[in-house]
A and B are shown apart, each in its own frame.
Chain A
Amino acid sequence: QQQVKQSPQSLIVQKGGISIINCAYENTAFDYFPWYQQFPGKGPALLIAIRPDVSEKKEGRFTISFNKSAKQFSLHIMDSQPGDSATYFCAATQRSNDYKLSFGAGTTVTVRA
């Protein structure tokens, strides 16, 4: 069964707008939550990641918000640019499972100029 649920499946945002992608998980043993960006014909590339002892992490225009009690986390892309158009995957993993990744189904983001 899918251990990480991701929504929405796709979204369209205007240049300069904010993109928000949400993920939820059930396994409380997960201890590392990365987000990956994937362009067509390429493998996923690590974008930003967070551990559950932190509620927010920001790197440039990308921010992860983490709610441990609700078992939810989200990615915010601020000031979205056409180059951000890609598929984004949330994932979860745990040290005790040798960091095998459980991915969400992905969100295709389209930024309109």
Chain B
Amino acid sequence: DTGVSQDPRHKITKRGQNVTFRCDPISEHNRLYWYRQTLGQGPEFLTYFQNEAQLEKSRLLSDRFSAERPKGSFSTLEIQRTEQGDSAMYLCASSLDRQGQGYTFGSGTRLTVV
């Protein structure tokens, strides 16, 4: 297990289309986080899971966004009816329970909405 894997690395989509991203966390990590990073800014928290349970969603996550983590393993983040403002890097991170120092980020999915 070499770390957190995200797929795809890059996605270009037309406004109004739906997109889905996948994150594979480190296998023994039971917490999985999604963050969004826009150009020149730090990552912003979107949502997180403990095992398969989604524990919190940021107000940044509009109704067009949905995240799942079936069986507590990989996670998907779907954006419906994409808008140009959704263009950003979507980062996934995993950690072992409450070890705040145990965050490992993936390399992210760069979304461009044209």
The answer on A and B forming one complex is yes
Q: How many pairs of A and B residues are in contact by the CB < 8 Å rule?
A: 61
Per a CB cutoff under 8 Å, which of B44, B45, B91, B103 touches A46?
B103
Q: Which residues of A contact B56 (CB under 8 A)?
A: 98, 100
Q: Which residues of A contact B104 (CB under 8 A)?
A: 46
User: Once bound together, how far apart are the Cα atoms of A34 and B101, in whole Å?
Assistant: 8
Q: Which residues of A contact B42 (CB under 8 A)?
A: 4, 6, 89, 91, 103-106
User: Once bound together, how far apart are the Cα atoms of A91 and B48, in whole Å?
Assistant: 17
Q: Which residues of A contact B40 (CB under 8 A)?
A: 105-106
A43 in contact with B48 given A91-B42, A105-B41 (CB within 8 Å): no
Q: How far is the CB of A15 from chain B (nearest CB, A)?
A: 25
Contact between B106 and A43, CB atoms less than 8 A apart:
yes
Q: How far is the CB of B83 from chain A (nearest CB, A)?
A: 23
User: Once bound together, how far apart are the Cα atoms of A34 and B104, in whole Å?
Assistant: 12
Interface 0/1 of B16-36, CB less than 8 Å to A: 000000000000000101010
Total count of chain B residues near the partner, CB < 8 A: 26
Contact between B91 and A43, CB atoms less than 8 A apart:
yes
Q: Does B74 sit within 8 A of A, measured CB to CB?
A: no
Q: Does B107 sit within 8 A of A, measured CB to CB?
A: yes
Q: Which residues of A contact B106 (CB under 8 A)?
A: 43
Contact between A93 and B41, CB atoms less than 8 A apart:
no
User: Once bound together, how far apart are the Cα atoms of A100 and B57, in whole Å?
Assistant: 11
Contact between B43 and A101, CB atoms less than 8 A apart:
yes
Interface 0/1 of B29-67, CB less than 8 Å to A: 001010100001111110010000001100000000000
In order of increasing CB-CB distance, the 8 nearest A-B pairs are A103-B42, A43-B105, A99-B100, A32-B100, A100-B45, A43-B107, A89-B42, A44-B105
Extra inter-chain contacts (17) besides given A98-B31, A99-B99, A101-B103, CB under 8 Å: A6-B42, A32-B100, A32-B101, A43-B105, A44-B91, A46-B103, A46-B104, A49-B101, A89-B42, A93-B100, A95-B98, A98-B48, A99-B95, A99-B103, A102-B45, A103-B44, A106-B41
